[in-house]
Amino acid sequence: MHHIGKTRIPAIGFGTYPLQGSEAQQAVEMAIGLGYRHIDTAQMYGNEKAVGQALRSCGLALDEVMVTTKVDPSNMDPERFLPSVERSLEDLGIDSVDYLLLHWPSRERALGQTLELLAEARSRGYSQHIGVSNFTCAQLREAGRLLPGEIATNQVEFHPLIDQRPLQRLCREQGVILSAYCALARGAFMEDRTLQSIARVYGKSVAQVALRWIIQQGVAAIAMSTRLENARGNLDVFDFELSDDEMKAIGALRQAHRRLVSPAQWAPEWDGPAEGDKE
C-alpha cells in the first residue's frame, strides 16, 4: 500500500458514508479483504458500531488497519466532547483511533477551546494523531498557530471539479496532509471527454484516472463503493502515472465554486477562487 506524508496515511482509503448497519459492516469487510488499510468513519455517520464489527471480524490485528473518526459539531462543548470520543471508541471496539478529527469548524465554540479538547483526547491516548475537516485556509492557519506542528491532516472535499489550490499550498507549507473526501464527485465527471480520453490511453476507468490525479498531487483520497468491482478498481491506481500535460488537462476542469458538500448548518465561509493560479 502506498502512503502519503510523514504520518503515512494510505494513499487510498475506504469511506463509509452513508452506509448503515449490516450494509456498512459488509462493505468494510469487503474493503479490508481487498486490501484497504484505512477506514474512514464519523460520529455523524451513525455507523461506528458497524465499522467496529467489521474490524473485529476481519481477522487482522487492529494495528494493521488505520481508522479515522470525526467529532460531531454537536459534541464540541466541554461536557460532551471527551465522552463522545469514548463512545466512539467503545462502538469501534478499539482503545485508540489513528486519526481523530473535528468534523466541521464549530460555530458555537471558540477554535482554541475545541482544539484544546482535541489535544486532550490525544493526551489521554484516544488517538495517535489529531486533525480537522472542512477547515478553510484562515481556520487552518489559526489551528496551526494554536497547536503548532500538531495538526496532521485536513480532510476536505477534493476532486477534479473543485479548485482547492490555495488550501493545497497552505497544507504543504504547514506539513499537513490534505485528505480528499467526495473524491469521485458523486459521479459528476464520469462523462467528461478529457477524463474519458485519458482513461482510454491507460486502459483505466475515469474513476481510476481521477483518483490517480489526486494522489499524484500528494493528496490522500477516500473513496466508497459497495460494489466489489468498483472497490477493487479504486485500489488499482498504482501501475500508471499521468504525464504533466495530462495532469494539467485534468486540472483545467477545476471550477472555483463546484462544491457538492456545503450543509448550511455547518459550512464555514469557504475560500474564494484561486487568484493567479495557472496550469
* Residues 256, 258, 260, 263, Cα dihedral to 10°: 50
- Whether 36 is a known active-site residue: answer no
Angstrom distances, CA of residue 180 to CA of 12, 25, 123, 203, 268: 9, 22, 27, 24, 18
Which of 45, 99, 126, 181 is an active site residue? 45
In b/e form, how buried is each residue of 24-34, taking b as 16+ CB within 10 angstroms?
bbebbbbbbee
Q: Which set of grid coordinates corresponds to residue 114?
A: 475545541
159 annotated binding-site participant: no
Closest C-alpha among 234, 160, 162 to residue 204:
234
Q: Which residues contact 125 (CB under 8 A, 6 or more apart)?
A: 95, 96
Closest C-alpha among 88, 69, 228 to residue 153:
69
Q: How many CB atoms within 10 Å of residue 234?
A: 26
Answer whether 160's CB lies under 8 Å from 195's CB: yes
Closest C-alpha among 128, 154, 149 to residue 139:
154
Is the peptide bond prior to 73 cis by the omega test (within 30 degrees of 0)?
no
Answer whether 20's CB lies under 8 Å from 53's CB: no
- What is the identity of the amino acid at 235? L
Which helix (H) or strand (E) is 127 found in, with range? strand 127-133
Q: Which residues are annotated as a binding site?
A: 103
What residues act catalytically?
45
Q: Which residues are annotated as a binding site for substrate?
A: 103
